[in-house]
Amino acid sequence: MNSQIMEALQWRYAVKQFDTQKKVSEADWKVLAESLRLAPSSYGLQPWKFIVVQNPSLRAELRKNSWNQSQVTDCSHYVVLTTRTKMSEQDVQKYIAKISQVRGVPQESLKGYHDMMIGDVVKGPRSEIIQWWAQRQAYIAFGFLMETAALMKIDTCPIEGLEPKAYDQILKLEGTGYATVAACAVGYRHRDDKNAQAKKVRFDAQDVIEIR
Amino acid sequence: MNSQIMEALQWRYAVKQFDTQKKVSEADWKVLAESLRLAPSSYGLQPWKFIVVQNPSLRAELRKNSWNQSQVTDCSHYVVLTTRTKMSEQDVQKYIAKISQVRGVPQESLKGYHDMMIGDVVKGPRSEIIQWWAQRQAYIAFGFLMETAALMKIDTCPIEGLEPKAYDQILKLEGTGYATVAACAVGYRHRDDKNAQAKKVRFDAQDVIEIR
């Protein structure tokens, strides 16, 4: 497994040109979707929603608000990462109900956990930075999506160069409590994509990993 | 590979109790470290430093500032994720120099890219939220670390429940331009850790993944 992981990490790059003819299969997509859904998040709260935009006219609109990057329209699956703009008591309650259901424990037994979350993300200091907190969580899932894809020899291009407010309008997110933070184009590289040959640029290990 | 990934995603959980006797081997650690180093980031800027704290007295100090969570002292490798608090022209220049070196292209040919980054993360709108932007990038690497570990049957526990300012003091980060955002305990679960048996709680796919 170690060498397969190393190979995938080296093989991955931010695709510039996707092959419009090659689509991710339904079976492969399920694994990618599960890697988003099963990603960890703070408290397990999953303050996210992933919107997979497959409609060509929606894609065209989004591309206009993404510096006209061709990946938006040319990839197989276009995943928009959206996150909670604030966390409410209902958000926490929904999660508590899910824990209770999945683990078969009474909700009352989760009161301590419930109150801890309320005291942090709803009413505590974290509530003031909740947008950024939620975005951080979504980027864990973002990482899971890209690594999973690379292991499956499926390409991706992470996209932060987009207008979040325009995305929110196009995707009708206003008033839903979710807002766009980034997107990920998923598919297969075009054989002419020169970026595939460019050497990966990373700082040396000793510059970014320090042992104390 | 698909079934191996699914298995790893299901196997992973946030470890509560680590086995203090089991250490990640040097060969395995190298793969984990590379998954941090090779993770993608916006523009490729890598606005992060990962501090692996192995000194027991430093670990004890950090634990005091992490709600006394035992994972801090009991895990094999304790990785503190730190990120740039702002991005300077020097940061961008250092990266441009690295691209030039790795790809064998003159720095002058990268001027357009240089100026674009300066106009965004150093002087543009993104500079005002740079701390959050940098943290988001680090969480991609955070995701890579946890997924890589799970694939290797190595356990992790993501830790946001810590006092960043206290960490910064203990790790002497003040004045370095880096600040703590989170940590990840890495090692092997203790066979008595009851959390390993708890069912994973996730919202249903249709609640978090929407196809348009």
pLDDT tens digit sequence for A57-109: 999 999 999 999 999 999 999 999 999 999 999 999 999 999 999 999 999 99
Task: Give residue A77's pLDDT.
Answer: 98
Task: Give residue B64's pLDDT.
Answer: 98
- A105-142 residue pLDDT tens: 999 999 999 999 999 999 998 999 999 999 999 999 99
Reported ipTM exceeds the 0.95 cut:
yes
Task: Give residue B7's pLDDT.
Answer: 97
DSSP chain B: -HHHHHHHHHH--B-SSB-TT----HHHHHHHHHHHHT---GGG---EEEEEE--HHHHHHHHHTTTT-THHHHSSEEEEEEEESS--HHHHHHHHHHHHHHHT--GGGGHHHHHHHIIIIISSGGGGGHHHHHHHHHHHHHHHHHHHHHHTT-EEEEE--S-HHHHHHHTT-TTTTEEEEEEEEEE-B-TT-GGGGSPP----HHHHEEE-
Task: Give residue B133's pLDDT.
Answer: 97
Pairwise CB contact (< 8 Å): A38 & B9: yes
Ranges of residues in chain B with a pLDDT under 70 are none
Task: Give residue A210's pLDDT.
Answer: 97
Task: Give residue A74's pLDDT.
Answer: 98
CATH topology of domain B2-208: NADH Oxidase (3.40.109)
Nearest chain A residue (CA) to B95: A203
Q: Which of B34, B140, B158 sits opposite A40 (nearest CB)?
A: B158
**Whole-angstrom distance, CA of residue B201 vs CA of residue A45:** 9
Residue pair B16/B194 in contact by the 8 Å Cβ criterion: yes
Nearest chain A residue (CA) to B99: A201
pTM for the whole structure:
0.97
For residue B173 the two structure tokens come to 């980060």
Instruction: Residue B165: count other Cβ atoms within 10 Å of its Cβ.
Output: 13
Confidence at A13, pLDDT banded by 50, 70, 90? very high
* Alpha-carbon distances, residue A142 vs B29, B40, B74, B211 (angstroms): 23, 10, 29, 17
Beta strands A155-159 and A77-84, pairing class: unpaired
**Whole-angstrom distance, CA of residue A64 vs CA of residue A79:** 16
| Min distance A123 CA to chain B CA atoms (Å) | 16
Residue pair A38/B202 in contact by the 8 Å Cβ criterion: yes
Task: Give residue A43's pLDDT.
Answer: 97
Three-state DSSP class for A161?
coil
Average pLDDT for residues A185-202, to the nearest whole number? 97
**What is the CATH architecture of A2-79+135-208?**
3-Layer(aba) Sandwich (3.40)
- Boundaries of every domain in chain B: 2-208
Confidence at A158, pLDDT banded by 50, 70, 90? very high
Task: Give residue B77's pLDDT.
Answer: 98
Pairwise CB contact (< 8 Å): A208 & B28: no
